[in-house]
Structure 1
C-alpha cells in the first residue's frame, strides 16, 4: 500500500527532492525525475515507515490502557455509609 500525499504535501515533497539533489548532489533534476524519486520512496519505503508508526502507536495506546487500572476508583453508593450528624 503506497501512501497517498495531499496535493500541497506532494508539491512540497517534490520541491524538497529537487533541492536535495541540487544542494547535496550537485545535480539539478526536473519535475519528472523528482516525481520518479518520490513515487519510488512512497511505494518502496513508506510501507515500512507506516508499519513502524502503527507499531509505535499501538505500543503507546497499550501502555496507556494498562495504566487505567492504576487510576483510583471512586467509591460507589457511599451516601448511607457516612455518619450523619444527629439533628
Structure 2
C-alpha cells in the first residue's frame, strides 16, 4: 500500500452520499443554486484531498492536549 493511500481519508458509500446531499442542500439554501451529484462529489473530493488533513490534525492535537491535561490531574492524587 502506498503511503498516500494509507493517509487518505476513506468514507463509506452511505456517509459519502450524506455529505454530497449536505453540499447540495447548502448550495440550494445559501446560494439558491442547484448543483448535481457530480458537482457536489467534486467539491467533496476537493475538501477531502486539500482541507481534511488540517481538520484531522487539529483533532489529533486536541485529543493529545486533552489526554495530557487528564494525566496531570491523575498526578495530583498522589499521596506523599
Structure 1 length-normalised TM: 0.76
Unaligned 5+ runs, structure 1: 74-87
Which structure has the highest helix share of the two?
2
Q: CA RMSD for the aligned pairs? A: 1.3
> Quick check: which has more Rg, 1 or 2?
1
Unaligned 5+ runs, structure 2: 1-6
Regions of 4+ moved over 2 Å: none
How many residue pairs match? The answer is 73
Contact 1:14 1:38 survives alignment (8 Å): yes
Structure 2 length-normalised TM: 0.82
Measure the CA separation in 2 of the matches of 1:9 and 1:43: 16
